[in-house]
Structure 1
Amino acid sequence: MLLKGINCLDQPVRHKAPVSFRLMDKCFESLNMSRPSDQALWFFVSLFFFFLLRRSEIASLGKKFGWFALRAEDVSLLDYHGSATVRAQEATSVHIRLRGSKTNQQGEPTLRMLNRSGHAFLCPVFGALCLFKARSSLPAIIPVAVSVNAHDQPNCVSSTAISKVIRQAAVALGEDPAAFSPHSLRSGGTAHMYRTGVDTLTIQFHGRWASDTFKQYTRLCKESVEVLSSKDHQRLKIGMKLLIFESYRICFLKKKRLSYFLPAKVVKSMTTLFVSLACFYSFKLHSFFKSFPLGITM
C-alpha cells in the first residue's frame, strides 16, 4: 500500500517536443544575420541540433559555465585537404573537441566531425563560420558562448536566449511554445537521424549517451510522416494492416476476457478470421520491415 501511494504522487515525465526542419527555418528567418549576436546564436542552434549537444556543454547557465563548456579553440574548420581554414569557400567540415560532460567527468576528450549538409544554412559548417565571424578578435581560450555585440563589447549567449528564439518560432508556426526548450534541438537532431535510417548504436555514440535513454527521442516529426506517406504509402498500408490484424488476433485469443460479453462461437469465429487475415499478410512482413525507412529490422 505504501509503494502504491508513492506511485500515485509521482508526476508523469514530460519530454520537450523535438524541433522540426520547419521550426529551424523559422528560427533562421527571425534572426538578423548581420548582427554578431544573432550569428553566434545561430551557431548554437546549429551545433545543438547536428552534434546533439547538451545545454551545459555549450551555453551558459545563468552567469556560469561548466568546466567542460566548449571553447573557441575546441572548434575548427578544415578544408578538403584537412588544413585549418576560416574561408567559407574552402571549409568542408567542422571539428569539435568536448572536454567532458555530465556523463564524462574525468574521461578523455571526445572528438566529433561533421561535413557540410548541402543546405544553405541548416549546416554545421555554416554555423561554425557564423561563430568565427561573430567572435571577431576574442581570445580562443574563453567559451564559445562569448561573442561580440553590435557595440564591440563581449556578449554571452545564454540558454534563455536560445529558448526565446525557439519558442518565438513555435508561436509563428502555431505550436505550443511551452513544449520547446534548448533540449528540443538535441531531441530533434536525434529524431531526424533515426528517421533517415541511422542505426541506434551510431546515434548513441554520436550523442554520447551512457544508457539507452536516447531511444525516447527517436520519434517522428510531423513532416517525417508526410514524407513517409508520400514515398512509401503502399508499404506502410500493408504493414499497418498486418499490425492491426495481429493485434486483434492476440486480443481475441484471450477468450476468457471476451466470454463475459460475447458467445463462445462468435469468439472462435472471429479468432479464426483474424488469424487467416494475419497469415494472408504475413508473407509481406519481412520485406516490409526490411525496407522500412526508419531503420526497423527483424
Structure 2
Amino acid sequence: MRAAFAEGTSRNLDIQWQAFFLFCEAFQREPLPVNTQTICLYIQFLSRSMKSPDSIRNYVSGVKTLHILTDTDYSQVRQFEVNLALRGVARLNPHCPHRASPITPRILLEFVKFINFSDPLHATLWCSFLLSFYVMIRKSNIVASSGGFKPEQILLRQDISVQGDMLMVCLKWSKTNQFGKRKHVIPLIRIPSSKLCPVLAFHNMCDLVPAPPEAPAFSMPGTRSKPISYSCFQKFLKFLIVQTGRDPALFSSHSFRRGGATWAFQSNVPGELIQLQGDWASDAYKIYLDHSLEQKMQVANFVKNSIITFQAAFYK
C-alpha cells in the first residue's frame, strides 16, 4: 500500500502532516478528527507564508488523506466553508506562478562558446542538455536526485541506440507512465554541420565517457555506475547562463522542456505531436509554450484584414 504512492508524493505527505500536527500543537487544536473551524484556521495560518493558493489546497488535501489512511471520520468538515476559505485566500493574495524561462536554440548556440567538447564532463552535460531540449524530457529521466537513482526510471546507455543517422531514445518510465506499462520511443535525426546536433553530441560523449549498456546514460567521468547528479546539472547550467549575461534565477532544468516545446510550436509542429513528444497526458503542455510578439500580432492582422474585407463589401 505504501508503494502505491510515488516517492515524491510520500515525501510531500510527510511534510504536510508534520506541518499540520505542529500547527495543532502550537494553537492547541484537536488534529484527529479535525473540524471545520480548525481547517479554516489552518488555511489562514498557511496563507501568511505560502504565496500559492494551490500549495495551501494541497496541504489541506493532505489532512484529508491523513484521515482516510488512519480510518478517522472526516465527515464533520463542511467542505463548502473550506472552499470559501480557499477562494478567499486566492482573492486576497493574487499569485502568478513562476515558470522557468525557456532555453532557445539561440541560447544553446551561445553556450557553445564556453564548452570544452574535449572535456568528458562538459561533453556529458552538453549531450544531456541537447536531449533534454529535443526530447522535452523531465529531469527525473536524465539525472539522479540526492537520494540516488533507480535504473528502471533513469535513462541508461542501452536506452539510447544509434540507427544510421538517428538516435532512438526509449523512455520506459515517466511522470505519466509510473507503472511502466508502455515504452515511449523518440527518434532524433542528425543535424549536419551543427553544434546542436544530438547525434554528434551522443557519439562524442560515448567516445570520451565509455560505459556498459546497463550504466546510466549520462555517467560521471571516471565512474561506470554513478549518474550525473541534479546539482551538477544545475550548477553547470547556471554557470553557462551567467556567461551569456542572463539572470540564472530565471532558468532551471525545466527550461529545456519548455524551450523544446516552444521551439516545436514556433516551427509549426502540430499540437498533438508536441504533446506526444513531451509525453504530456493532457493539454497541460500549452502552458509551457512561450508565444512571440510576432505570433500574437497574427491575431491583430487577421482581425484587421477581415475588417478591411467586410468594410469593402459593406460600402460596395
Same fold (TM over 0.5): yes
Separation (CA, whole Å) in 1 of partners of 2:311 and 2:269: 26
Quote the offset at 1:212 in angstroms: 0.9
Distance verdict in 2 for CA 1:22–1:6, change over 3 Å: same
Which of 165, 176, 188 is the aligned partner of 2:259?
188
Question: 55-64 or 207-216, which moves further after superposition?
Answer: 55-64
Quote the offset at 1:282 in angstroms: 5.4
1:174-213 matches, within 5 Å, as 174-213=245-284
**1:29 is aligned to 2:100:** no
Distance verdict in 2 for CA 1:12–1:114, change over 3 Å: same
8 Å Cα contact 1:194/1:200 also seen in 2: yes
Which of 144, 154, 179 is the aligned partner of 1:69?
154
Quote the offset at 1:198 in angstroms: 0.2
Separation (CA, whole Å) in 1 of partners of 2:147 and 2:212: 19
Q: Residues 114-163 of structure 1: CA distance to partner in whole angstroms, max 9, x if unpaired?
A: 11133521012112112312322x322021131424xx787642222222
Separation (CA, whole Å) in 2 of partners of 1:283 and 1:24: 47
Q: Residues 166-209 of structure 1: CA distance to partner in whole angstroms, max 9, x if unpaired?
A: 32333233322111011101110110000010010000011110
Aligned to 2:287: 216
Quote the offset at 1:5 in angstroms: 2.3
Q: Secondary structure at the match of 2:99?
A: coil
**1:240 is aligned to 2:300:** yes
**1:113 is aligned to 2:187:** yes
Aligned to 1:103: 176
Quote the offset at 1:278 in angstroms: 6.0
Distance verdict in 2 for CA 1:3–1:200, change over 3 Å: same
8 Å Cα contact 1:23/1:169 also seen in 2: no
Q: Secondary structure at the match of 1:4?
A: helix
Distance verdict in 2 for CA 1:241–1:159, change over 3 Å: same
Quote the offset at 1:6 in angstroms: 2.7
8 Å Cα contact 1:42/1:130 also seen in 2: no
8 Å Cα contact 1:58/1:70 also seen in 2: yes
Separation (CA, whole Å) in 1 of partners of 2:114 and 2:298: 42
The amino acid across from 1:210 in the alignment is: A
Instruction: Pick 1 or 2: higher relative contact order, CA cutoff 8 A, min separation 6.
Output: 1
Quote the offset at 1:237 in angstroms: 6.7
Separation (CA, whole Å) in 2 of partners of 1:238 and 1:101: 36
Quote the offset at 1:37 in angstroms: 1.0
Distance verdict in 2 for CA 1:242–1:35, change over 3 Å: closer
Which of 280, 285, 289 is the aligned partner of 2:308?
280
**1:51 is aligned to 2:51:** no
Aligned to 2:47: none
The amino acid across from 1:5 in the alignment is: G
Q: Secondary structure at the match of 2:185?
A: strand
Separation (CA, whole Å) in 2 of partners of 1:183 and 1:103: 16
Q: Secondary structure at the match of 1:128?
A: helix
Aligned to 2:201: 127
Aligned to 2:102: 18
Separation (CA, whole Å) in 1 of partners of 2:146 and 2:214: 20
Separation (CA, whole Å) in 1 of partners of 2:168 and 2:266: 24
8 Å Cα contact 2:218/2:227 also seen in 1: yes
Separation (CA, whole Å) in 1 of partners of 2:197 and 2:95: 38
Gaps of 5+ in 1: 80-91, 230-235, 246-276, 285-298
Aligned to 1:145: 218
Q: Residues 61-88 of structure 1: CA distance to partner in whole angstroms, max 9, x if unpaired?
A: 1251243100011111111xxxxxxxxx
Gaps of 5+ in 2: 1-83
